[in-house]
Structure 1
Amino acid sequence: MGLERIATIMQGVNNIFEIDTVKNILHKVSDLSGVKYGVDKIKDISLRIITDHVKSVTMLICDGVQPSNEGRGYVLRRLLRRAARHGRLLGIKDLFLTEIVESVVENYGSAYPMLIENKEYIEKIVLLEEERFNETIDSGMNILNDYIEEMKASKEKTLKGEKAFKLYDTYGFPIELTEEILEEKGMKVDHEAFRKEMDEQRQRARNARGESSYMGSDESPINKIDASVNTEFMGYNNLEVKSNILVLADDNSFVEELSKGQKGYIVTEKTPFYAEMGGQVGDKGTIKTALGEAYIYDTKKNVGGKTIHYVKVLDGTIKVNDEANLRVDILRRSSIAKNHTATHMLHEALKQIVGKHVNQAGSYVDDERLRFDFAHFQGLTEDEIQSIEELVNKKIMEVFEVDTNLMTLDEAKESGAMALFDDKYGDKVRVVSVGEFSKELCGGTHVNNSGEIGLFKIVSETGVAAGIRRIEAVTGLNAIKYMEEKQRLLKEACNALKCTEKDVLKKIVSQGAEIKEKEKEISELKSKLTSGIEDDILASVKDIKGVRVVAYGLEGIDGNALRDLGDKMRSKLSTGVVVLLSNVGGKVNVISMATKDVIEMGIHCGKIIKEVAAVVGGGGGGRPDMAQAGGKNPENIKSAIEKTYSVVESLVK
């Protein structure tokens, strides 16, 4: 029996909504909505839903869960959005959930001190999620109400899956929320069609990311290796190992040998090569036998977890049962190890500087850089990024020993090791510790001490999904190269600006202001230039079937100035059509404008421009009152002017 159930007995009440802590939260919802509890059974349901859901949401976020479209995060999002929707049903139009969160913390904070510590963070998450939903809920409800009316008109009871998916994908309506609203109307969702739409979206996402089935088709020979074949990984402590070749294969079948120039796959009894796993890329290197040599260009696991060396034979012949010498590319492995250990240190630095809620959402480590995805509700500030860099580099310089220990998962949790505890682990797990600074479950390769990393530099921080941020960073020599490139660019900027490094920002700001001032002067000069020819343009007015028409050719007036001049001429003309053509460096700008009264007589600037622009070797179009185009034959401007008159004549009703 839960504590709140016990409380109902101890306090002599009928349900959990009447116990003191929960009742206080419910009263807060009642006050905000202006709806008294116990008067209307339907509204009571909404009051209870908001109370229960916001209480649950507060606890979930405090435990590190963030809104997402998968797993626990999706449950959290559903609860939040359902609570927000029931607030609307009670007449609450403004954002209100954070006020309920405050009540939850007030009533449960003494029993759960973590709620008080994380109150500001919880409220930020709830506010951001409610704001996101608030942006689309009205549009979504209007769409759903239209669907409901359509179903009523056609006497249907089931909403089509593609329509339910549109509500989910475009308006952020969890399918359960759509179901609930339909159920209130005696209707339901076509779940099978909805799932089909979801599957198709996931496939589109996989295609967009360029993903393919792991290790190719399951029919590949490397995925049919006998279960008795096992490879012992020796690569934590050895980068060169002698071993027998157990299996050879090409893309089509198992083979007895691979010859010079052939690509294939090799499985050995032992290997120092790390197979791609846990975000760390596979090793590269060489394999030599008495009769041949091959380059190992990748190392991966097959679907059965066997370590597969991807090879291209460089010389001679490689045969099954040959004794081979396997040697990992040492420099590449060293760079990977630096990046991997730095990733662990970055994770801990994020927790210390940004907040304990920061959890890993993905990572990728190779020899050039590291990428770390993490759960956080907003982009990092420049100060936060700088603080993270400084902390990681400080710990690098403290030269912490990097230790690894095997222990049970429970022991790892008790030791404070960070892990993706939703993942599946074996009886024993490997815990990697960077001094007392960082401790994580990890099967990857690492440096012996943090000092080997040398330098850590963040190169970017971006958003990759709602609530997910990404940091990319470089270490060691790659970090030095990155800084050297920045220094080179700074020197080039200084040379171009003719200033010292310390004055470069001041110089850029100064020149930017100067450019704006010059642009203003140029604009004023162009305005004066065009104003001088306004009378000449007006003098060219012709009357075509009762419509006043101005068609005029100019030199050196660019697009913006031509539009401004066109506006002025239309205004001065009062009624009629203006067509201006300007030769600018061998290109023709064309603009057409018309007053409202002549549009009613049949004039359409888009149609005029289409035919006039064709004369100067161009094309374009636009609205009845304004259109523009470009051309490449300025020598035909006079002919285009004559064309204007004939087109206008043909359009006038």
Structure 2
Amino acid sequence: MSTTNDIRAAFLDYFAANGHQIVPSSSLVPRNDPTLLFTNAGMVQFKNVFTGQETRPYSRATTAQKVVRAGGKHNDLDNVGYTARHHTFFEMMGNFSFGDYFKADAIEFAWTLITRNFGLPRDRLLATVYADDEEAADLWRKVAGLPDERIIRIGTADNFWRMGDTGPCGPCSEIFFDHGPDVPGGPPGSPDEDGDRFVEIWNLVFMQFFEDPPGVRSPLPRPSIDTGMGLERFAAIMQGKRDNYDTDTMRALILASAEATGQDPDGPFRASHRVVADHLRSTSFLIADGVLPSKDGRGYVLRRIMRRAMRHLHMMGTRETVFHRLVPALVRQMGAAYPELVQAEALIRETMRGEEERFKAMLDRGLALLADETARLGDGQPLPGDVAFKLYDTFGFPLDLTQDALRGSSHDVDVTGFDRAMQVQRERARAAWSGSGDSATETVWFEARDRFGASEFLGYATEQADAEIQAIVTDGRSVTEAPAGTEIALLLNQTPFYGESGGQVGDTGLITAPGLRIAVTDTQKRLGDLMVHYGTVVEGTVRVGQAVTATVDHDRRSAIRAHHSATHLLHEALRRRLGAHVTQKGSLNAPDRLRFDISQPRPLTPEEIADVEAEVNARIRENSPVVTRPMSQEEAVAQGAMALFGEKYGDEVRVVFMGAPEDDRPAWSIELCGGTHVNRTGDIGLFRITSEAGVSAGIRRIEAVTGKSAEQAAVATEQRLGQMAAMLRVSAAEAPERLAVILDERKVMERQISDLQRKLASGGSDGAQAETINGIGFVARDVGDLPARELKPLADSLRQQVGSGVVALVSTAEGKGSVVVAVTSDLTDRLDAVELVRLASAAMGGKGGGGRRDMAQAGGPDIARSEAALAAVRGAVAAAA
């Protein structure tokens, strides 16, 4: 028997031997098709190659592509577990020709592989062709030798493929396997085609035309081939099974589910084991590709899949978390072909475990409510929509989970009533919104939020993605298009751009399409989960519904990431060095620096700053992985996670783990954070604290740089040290010691100069040289460049020499007028130094002054009037005498 792994390998090897490049599966999150929720076909990663927007170094390719169909128009979720061939996750084997070979070779490749290499009997195979495609019918006769009765013409859209309303298109040809007359069902195109007798195993798309406008087709200059073979279906045939869930891979997962639950794999819970096996695959692969459970978008679909599997596990009697224990069985089956499963196994298990714990906490209460409500219903009466909404809003039951729980009963759900209740909640949220900014603009974003839902953020995994323009806002109003030169705000259905929040600044970059170029200068979060891109249309006209490519400025994002991750390490280092009282009070993570405000009552000492900086750099050198996991807020806090200042958290949070394990803690730093981060601490590069200062009572601010900015800071410091050393005529190592000697020498010289200046100002050995005004001694001096700080000591010295009288001194040092007046104690009842100094100040264009009756000081801007200032004091003394 051929195992599923053997079949996959044989398929790829066969086409590789026939000149095809084996291309790894692309992510389940499509990067080049904004219209898709998940990758749903093998050709998705080659879409731009088929349209001519991208070239590859090969013209033939083959893949084993991961596919999920559980949301949007391709949604098989409700049927999974109850049919033989429906899956949320499956593998699509394919071979592709980009203008190389066409119908004849494609048919021959498929026929040879199926009949010769895999050995399927020719008489059990038949083909369908599009009704008008006589060329394909002739080839099936010539290449495969099929008689006309086994070449079936189908005239519907099932056998004509289109990439969209316009674009490449062409007829299809399918290969079917006949299980035999003992199986119910008719051939394709017959009234009984939905039976199980005839199973489609291969679809060949002949990309032959270009349709534009709709209904008008012209031949493509380079016709191409796109094929797909469902691995699970083909493996069932190769293994002699009629049910995909009986193949080796699926059976192994079913047996793992049976062992974990203690329930017979083929007993009354047969469908539940199938749900668990299928959903185990889709859940694990989605998490491995960066999708995490959330309330919107892809994360919401993932949560629906996970919770559906968990409910079936609950139905089988499990009361502990079980789902995550099945991951090793999947890794054993598929890890060799898809190494991302092995790499992400720990993350997958942790995510599943946390989600199941949260789900179990509310499942019993939700199911009890459902049971109470259905007990009140009459036979065939639908469950009221408001009850279904309460299950969704209060207990986290998606609508389809409630519908699945009612499967087999006589009740359905009033979906219209559910939608009505959802709309009422949205209106309440809008009425309660207390946002900022222009109210008209707020209304625009509310309308966009109601219409489109939350923005799908792809920036944790990529910096470039294709997207679709959902809304354009200019001057506070929504428009359908905007020409070059217009300043706009854009909403995309999915984006790699991070909107400013949690201290991390918003991304910048480009949004482009053929003939269109938009420079994004900022990205902001609006209403909590809308990523709004602000910028200018540089070239072309942007239109709502337009397909574009959004590209983040890589260098800027990398620098921001490094600063944000360094902030986490800095926070932990500060707490460990200073104490647990240190908490974050604000932050900025920009491309050129980080700013971190903390609760701290005193300045950090140089030794503390050096220790913290050294600790952060030690963690950087460890180059340990940076891991993010979704958790409940309570669980995160229980693990020691710190919440960031100013951040609003929901029931589920994103937790960032950094640093090598230490003691009993799973990581050195654990914080709740929704920002973008480096993959490993070593990516930060170098960390340097550039300043530490107080910003308010009890709050200190630390500024630092990392990576290139830190290198530039270090280089600048070294250059300044080199310049200083050159000026001192010593080596850089000797510069500090030499500078200390010079500073000491300067202090000695300054004291000597000050002494000489005071001596000169006081008249040297001739004493105070006072004049007498009506019996009052008076000394008036313009002391020139004597520093202002020397005026009071000099005035006091002169006052002592005078014995009885008034001293007035004016300094014009450094271009500033300073005046000091001193009065001996025996005259203070007649003369007030404060009043006298104010007269002098006014004469020099100043005002005010202060001090005591015996000594006062003031200033004035007009230094040319120093003699007038002294004259004003002289006049006042004369008047008082």
Aligned to 2:612: 388
Aligned to 2:721: 490
The 1:295/1:473 distance shift into structure 2, 3 A limit, reads: same
Alpha-carbon shift at residue 420 of structure 1 (Å) = 5.3
Q: Deviations over 1:283-337 (max 9, x none)?
A: 1111113342111111111235322111211112111111111111111111111
Q: Please say which of residues 241-250 and 493-502 is displaced more in the overlay.
A: 493-502
Aligned to 1:264: 488
The 1:486/1:574 distance shift into structure 2, 3 A limit, reads: same
Aligned to 2:452: 229
Asked if residue 217 in structure 1 is aligned to residue 447 in structure 2, the reply is no
- 1:399 corresponds to which of 615, 623, 633: 623
Task: State the secondary structure of the residue aligned to 1:481.
Answer: helix
Asked if residue 577 in structure 1 is aligned to residue 801 in structure 2, the reply is no
The 1:475/1:565 distance shift into structure 2, 3 A limit, reads: closer
Asked if residue 458 in structure 1 is aligned to residue 689 in structure 2, the reply is yes
Note if contact 1:552-1:579 (Cα within 8 Å) is conserved in structure 2: yes
Alpha-carbon shift at residue 374 of structure 1 (Å) = 3.2
CA distance in 1, matches of 2:514, 2:491: 17
CA distance in 1, matches of 2:576, 2:457: 35
The 1:372/1:626 distance shift into structure 2, 3 A limit, reads: closer
Q: Deviations over 1:439-491 (max 9, x none)?
A: 33222111122221111222223344444433322111111111111111111
The 1:463/1:530 distance shift into structure 2, 3 A limit, reads: closer
Which amino acid is 1:225 matched to? E
The 1:427/1:214 distance shift into structure 2, 3 A limit, reads: closer
Note if contact 1:218-1:303 (Cα within 8 Å) is conserved in structure 2: no
Alpha-carbon shift at residue 583 of structure 1 (Å) = 7.5
Task: State the secondary structure of the residue aligned to 1:298.
Answer: strand
CA distance in 1, matches of 2:652, 2:782: 84
Q: Please say which of residues 491-500 and 592-601 is displaced more in the overlay.
A: 592-601
CA distance in 2, matches of 1:453, 1:510: 40
CA distance in 2, matches of 1:590, 1:409: 66
Where do 5+ consecutive residues of structure 2 fail to align?
Answer: 1-433, 662-667
Task: State the secondary structure of the residue aligned to 2:727.
Answer: helix
Aligned length: 436
Note if contact 1:586-1:634 (Cα within 8 Å) is conserved in structure 2: no
RMSD over equivalenced CA pairs, Å:
3.3
Q: Structure 2-normalised TM-score?
A: 0.45
The 1:582/1:263 distance shift into structure 2, 3 A limit, reads: closer
Note if contact 1:222-1:265 (Cα within 8 Å) is conserved in structure 2: no
Note if contact 2:689-2:702 (Cα within 8 Å) is conserved in structure 1: yes
Aligned to 2:498: 274
Which amino acid is 1:381 matched to? T
Alpha-carbon shift at residue 387 of structure 1 (Å) = 2.7
Note if contact 2:497-2:552 (Cα within 8 Å) is conserved in structure 1: yes
The 1:453/1:516 distance shift into structure 2, 3 A limit, reads: same
Aligned to 1:503: 734
Q: Deviations over 1:101-157 (max 9, x none)?
A: xxxxxxxxxxxxxxxxxxxxxxxxxxxxxxxxxxxxxxxxxxxxxxxxxxxxxxxxx
Alpha-carbon shift at residue 555 of structure 1 (Å) = 6.5
CA distance in 2, matches of 1:409, 1:447: 23
CA distance in 2, matches of 1:552, 1:411: 78
Which amino acid is 1:478 matched to? S
- 1:541 corresponds to which of 749, 756, 771: 771
Alpha-carbon shift at residue 503 of structure 1 (Å) = 1.7
Aligned to 1:343: 567
CA distance in 1, matches of 2:714, 2:730: 20
Note if contact 1:587-1:634 (Cα within 8 Å) is conserved in structure 2: no
Aligned to 2:8: none
Aligned to 2:757: 526
Which amino acid is 2:771 matched to? V
Note if contact 2:472-2:490 (Cα within 8 Å) is conserved in structure 1: yes
Equivalent positions of 1:623-642 (< 5 A) are 623-628=852-857, 629=859, 632=862, 637=867
Asked if residue 568 in structure 1 is aligned to residue 568 in structure 2, the reply is no
Task: State the secondary structure of the residue aligned to 1:274.
Answer: coil
Which amino acid is 1:233 matched to? F
CA distance in 1, matches of 2:460, 2:811: 73
Aligned to 1:597: 826
CA distance in 1, matches of 2:866, 2:654: 79
CA distance in 2, matches of 1:320, 1:571: 89
Which amino acid is 2:500 matched to? E
CA distance in 2, matches of 1:467, 1:645: 52
Note if contact 1:293-1:315 (Cα within 8 Å) is conserved in structure 2: yes
Note if contact 1:403-1:433 (Cα within 8 Å) is conserved in structure 2: yes
Note if contact 1:241-1:326 (Cα within 8 Å) is conserved in structure 2: yes
CA distance in 2, matches of 1:496, 1:267: 57
The 1:624/1:330 distance shift into structure 2, 3 A limit, reads: same
Q: Deviations over 1:218-246 (max 9, x none)?
A: 33254443413222111111211111111
Note if contact 1:417-1:439 (Cα within 8 Å) is conserved in structure 2: yes
CA distance in 2, matches of 1:548, 1:363: 64
Which amino acid is 1:265 matched to? A
Equivalent positions of 1:41-440 (< 5 A) are 216-220=437-441, 221-226=443-448, 227-230=450-453, 231-303=455-527, 305-419=529-643, 425-434=649-658, 435-436=660-661, 437-440=668-671
Aligned to 1:473: 704
CA distance in 2, matches of 1:326, 1:348: 35
The 1:497/1:581 distance shift into structure 2, 3 A limit, reads: same
Task: State the secondary structure of the residue aligned to 1:332.
Answer: helix
The 1:553/1:526 distance shift into structure 2, 3 A limit, reads: closer
CA distance in 2, matches of 1:256, 1:419: 41
Task: State the secondary structure of the residue aligned to 1:488.
Answer: helix
Note if contact 1:620-1:627 (Cα within 8 Å) is conserved in structure 2: no
**Bigger proportion of residues as helix:** 1
Note if contact 1:431-1:442 (Cα within 8 Å) is conserved in structure 2: yes
CA distance in 1, matches of 2:709, 2:673: 24
CA distance in 1, matches of 2:799, 2:642: 71
Alpha-carbon shift at residue 419 of structure 1 (Å) = 3.3
Which amino acid is 1:348 matched to? E
CA distance in 1, matches of 2:579, 2:787: 54
CA distance in 1, matches of 2:585, 2:782: 62
Note if contact 1:534-1:569 (Cα within 8 Å) is conserved in structure 2: no
The 1:385/1:651 distance shift into structure 2, 3 A limit, reads: same
Alpha-carbon shift at residue 386 of structure 1 (Å) = 2.5
Q: Please say which of residues 550-559 and 373-382 is displaced more in the overlay.
A: 550-559
Q: State which structure, 1 or 2, has the greater radius of gyration over its C-alpha atoms.
A: 2
Aligned to 2:104: none
Task: State the secondary structure of the residue aligned to 2:560.
Answer: helix
CA distance in 1, matches of 2:870, 2:561: 72
CA distance in 1, matches of 2:572, 2:871: 75
The 1:484/1:214 distance shift into structure 2, 3 A limit, reads: farther
CA distance in 1, matches of 2:838, 2:694: 44
Q: Deviations over 1:20-65 (max 9, x none)?
A: xxxxxxxxxxxxxxxxxxxxxxxxxxxxxxxxxxxxxxxxxxxxxx
CA distance in 2, matches of 1:390, 1:488: 22
The 1:626/1:314 distance shift into structure 2, 3 A limit, reads: same
The 1:554/1:244 distance shift into structure 2, 3 A limit, reads: closer
Task: State the secondary structure of the residue aligned to 2:733.
Answer: helix
